């Protein structure tokens, strides 16, 4: 063996030992710094954990708040459903009486009807039936029987409204329907209570029969149901909610004995007037956090607590929930102890790994020195291949997938340098399980991942080769970024309206059909909106078609900025647009479109600052009751509502 070869081997061996010593020293320093840094990390953990719990109780309050808002929104719909069903029950009773007593006089039949209906009460006694002839003659007017037999056509309520005239007109035109007015309550002072009634015409006796409910009575029932539900809600480890009125009456409370009582003057041990502090936050911001000390349910003593409260303005309620900070601190201590154990274990593992790696590297280095000359010849062959095939990224691989070498283009693709690639396995940087040791040749479009985890689309071709009688692989990777970008551009153009950059007619109609199928499958509600810019032809004639295009673009920009990520807007044709609002009933859809309509109306145009441009719209709800319709049916129905909005003065929204 030549002397130079011996010197190289000794030098390489010493360099390995020196490198291992440096690694061990650096590792020890890093581990020591990790312990020093632990306290700082623990404080960061504490702040993050507190922030997480503050966000948790806020989200829980918002979840219950949304539940309350939903039931509030359904109050009137619930009322209408009940009174309509009651009237149909009464009509059935009257029809049966009439069919079984046709041989009797009208007065006798009227008495039978009155006897059958006059004592019927529902909704805690506030619901009752009334019946009158179309000439205004009273037949049954509970709870005022003294009105029966009299002509009530000119009777007025406290607002001066001729109620019977209005109802008779409704019956003559429609046969049945809802009517809203103010009226007296049985056995209660005052005559200005808001009421909704449903009436239906019974032709054989030329009379109408109706009933109604007071909105505030139904609302009180809804409140009671909501409070009962809130009192039972629990989350995480026994988290509960409380509800009080603005004036301090407990409606839902952890201490059952305080429910229904005034808790406005309750103080904690630090003299914090809890309810007053909550009310201050509500008055100032509508919601916020309050800190105080409070007993835990089923435990003795008091504990520090942070609470999030939110006001429900129209009901004058305060809704809140909180977390005991001592529980948070206990959990933090557990997490800190776990972190310490993890660091100790990591120190041990890293030390062991460094030792083993150093040992393995030492053996490998010594072994590889024996194959140095053979390796040089192999590299010359590899470089010859790379020189002849340099158009794409080229990688030479072991049978296991480890990268032996690659050309300059390959280095650019994966963002590594020459000294780093030998540590890589090609299987780890491609996104598809493309090859194994048994394959001969394979080709696939996939993605290659660089040093920064950024992916690049490539056309990858892998082929097995023989070098020094050992099986290797050569991989050719061609960058497809430009081609994919071109394909995405074509796809975008195929589904997008060129002028407004929203979806085009073909896509929005296809999407609407998909949303209808989703409703059929899971039974949710989706709203479809058809809108049209008011007096658009006049705008074009007055300001020119370029300005008309600007109006359409701005309209779409305002919609895009205000719609949710799950919503869709597309140009149906001309100045008409279709908006799809998945998982949204028509009431919420009306609020969304109304808000956007107002925003569009207030937009300031450079061409004329006084110019106000509006749009009209029709909204159709797709739900389980209408799923037998197709896309054309819904668009035609929305178009009729849009036409109705135009007829009723424009700048308005009509719903089905």
Q: Which structure tokens are listed for 607?
A: 């061409």
Determine whether 437 is an active site residue: no
| Positions of E strands within 491-554 | 526-533
Q: Residue 551: how many CB atoms within 10 A of its CB?
A: 22
Can you tell me the distance from the alpha carbon of 326 to that of 332, in angstroms, rounded to the nearest whole number?
10
558 sits in which H/E element: helix 545-562
Selecting among 378, 575, 621, 637, the annotated active-site residue is 575
Three-class SS of residue 93? helix
Using alpha carbons, list the distances in angstroms from residue 55 to 48, 60, 289, 481, 563.
10, 9, 11, 41, 25
Kindly report the CA angle at 144 between 143 and 150, in degrees rounded to 5?
145
Q: Are 221 and 71 in contact (CB under 8 A)?
A: no
Q: Are 173 and 201 in contact (CB under 8 A)?
A: no
Q: Residue 266: how many CB atoms within 10 A of its CB?
A: 17
* Residue carrying structure tokens 């849009």: 642
Q: Are 238 and 248 in contact (CB under 8 A)?
A: no
Can you tell me the distance from the alpha carbon of 28 to that of 430, in angstroms, rounded to the nearest whole number?
35
Can you tell me the distance from the alpha carbon of 556 to that of 572, in angstroms, rounded to the nearest whole number?
12
Can you tell me the distance from the alpha carbon of 656 to that of 637, in angstroms, rounded to the nearest whole number?
8
Closest to 593 in 3D by CA, of 622, 609, 614: 614
Q: Which structure tokens are listed for 409?
A: 């283009």
Helical spans, DSSP H, in 433-504 = 481-495
Q: Residue 165: how many CB atoms within 10 A of its CB?
A: 15
DSSP string, 582-618: TT--HHHHHHHHHHHHHHHHTPPBTTBTT----EEEE
41: left (phi over 0), alpha (psi -120 to 50) or beta: alpha
* Residue carrying structure tokens 């710094």: 33
321 sits in which H/E element: strand 317-324
Q: Are 210 and 131 in contact (CB under 8 A)?
A: yes
544: left (phi over 0), alpha (psi -120 to 50) or beta: left
Can you tell me the distance from the alpha carbon of 462 to that of 565, in angstroms, rounded to the nearest whole number?
41
Catalytic positions: 575
């Amino acid at each position: 063996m030549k002397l130079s070869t011996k010197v190289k081997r000794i030098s390489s061996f010493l360099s390995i030992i020196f490198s291992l010593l440096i690694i061990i020293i650096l590792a020890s320093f890093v581990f020591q710094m990790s312990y020093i840094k632990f306290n700082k990390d623990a404080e960061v953990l504490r702040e993050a954990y507190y922030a997480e719990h503050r966000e948790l109780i806020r989200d829980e309050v918002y979840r219950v708040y949304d539940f309350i808002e939903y039931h509030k929104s359904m109050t009137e719909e619930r009322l209408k459903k009940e009174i309509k069903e009651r009237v149909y029950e009464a009509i059935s009773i009257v029809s049966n009486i009439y069919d079984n007593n046709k041989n009797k006089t009208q007065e006798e039949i009227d008495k039978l009807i009155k006897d059958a209906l006059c004592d019927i009460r529902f909704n805690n006694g506030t619901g009752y039936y009334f019946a009158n002839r179309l000439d205004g003659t009273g037949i049954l007017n509970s709870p005022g029987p003294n009105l029966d037999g009299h002509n009530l056509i000119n009777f007025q309520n406290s607002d001066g409204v001729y109620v019977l005239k209005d109802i008779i007109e409704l019956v003559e035109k429609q046969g049945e329907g809802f009517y809203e007015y103010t009226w007296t309550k049985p056995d209660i002072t005052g005559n200005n209570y808001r009421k909704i009634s449903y009436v239906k015409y019974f032709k054989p006796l030329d009379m109408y029969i109706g009933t109604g409910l007071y909105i505030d009575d139904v609302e009180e029932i809804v409140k009671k149901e909501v409070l009962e539900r809130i009192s039972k809600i629990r989350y995480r480890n026994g988290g509960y909610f409380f509800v009080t009125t603005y004036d301090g009456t407990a409606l839902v409370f952890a201490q059952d004995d305080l429910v229904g009582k005034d808790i406005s003057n309750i103080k904690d041990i630090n003299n914090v007037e809890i309810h007053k502090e909550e009310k201050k936050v509500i008055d100032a911001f509508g919601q916020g956090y309050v800190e105080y000390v409070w007993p835990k349910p089923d435990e003795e003593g008091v504990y520090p607590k942070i609470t999030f409260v939110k006001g429900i303005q129209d009901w004058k309620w305060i809704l809140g929930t909180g977390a005991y900070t001592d529980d948070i601190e206990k959990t933090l201590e557990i997490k800190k102890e776990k972190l310490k154990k993890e660091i100790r274990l990591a120190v041990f593992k890293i030390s062991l790994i460094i030792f083993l790696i150093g040992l393995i590297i030492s053996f490998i280095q010594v072994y590889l020195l024996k194959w140095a000359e053979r390796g040089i010849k192999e590299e010359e062959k590899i470089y010859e291949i790379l020189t002849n095939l340099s158009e794409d990224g080229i990688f030479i691989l072991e049978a296991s997938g480890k990268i032996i070498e690659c050309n300059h283009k390959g280095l650019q693709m994966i963002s590594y340098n020459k000294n780093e690639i030998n540590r890589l396995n090609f299987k780890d940087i491609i996104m598809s399980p493309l090859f194994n040791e048994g394959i001969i040749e394979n080709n696939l479009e996939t993605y290659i991942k660089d040093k920064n985890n950024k992916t690049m689309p490539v056309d990858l071709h892998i082929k097995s080769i023989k070098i020094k009688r050992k099986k290797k692989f050569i991989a050719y990777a061609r960058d497809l970024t430009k081609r994919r970008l071109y394909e995405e551009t074509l796809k975008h153009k195929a589904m997008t309206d060129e002028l407004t950059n929203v979806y085009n007619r073909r896509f929005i109609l296809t999407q609407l059909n998909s949303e209808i199928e989703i409703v059929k499958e899971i039974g949710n509600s989706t709203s479809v909106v058809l809108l049209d810019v008011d007096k658009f032809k006049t705008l074009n004639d007055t300001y020119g078609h370029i300005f008309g295009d600007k109006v359409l673009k701005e309209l779409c920009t305002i919609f895009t900025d205000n719609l949710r990520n799950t919503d869709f807007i597309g140009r149906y044709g001309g100045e008409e647009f279709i908006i799809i609002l998945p998982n949204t009933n028509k009431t919420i859809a009306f609020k969304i479109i109304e808000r956007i309509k107002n925003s569009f109306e207030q937009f300031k145009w450079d061409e004329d600052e006084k110019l106000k441009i509006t749009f009209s719209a029709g909204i159709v709800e797709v739900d389980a009751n209408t799923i037998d319709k197709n896309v054309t049916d819904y668009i035609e129905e929305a178009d009729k509502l849009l036409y109705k909005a135009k007829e009723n003065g424009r700048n308005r929204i009509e719903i089905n």
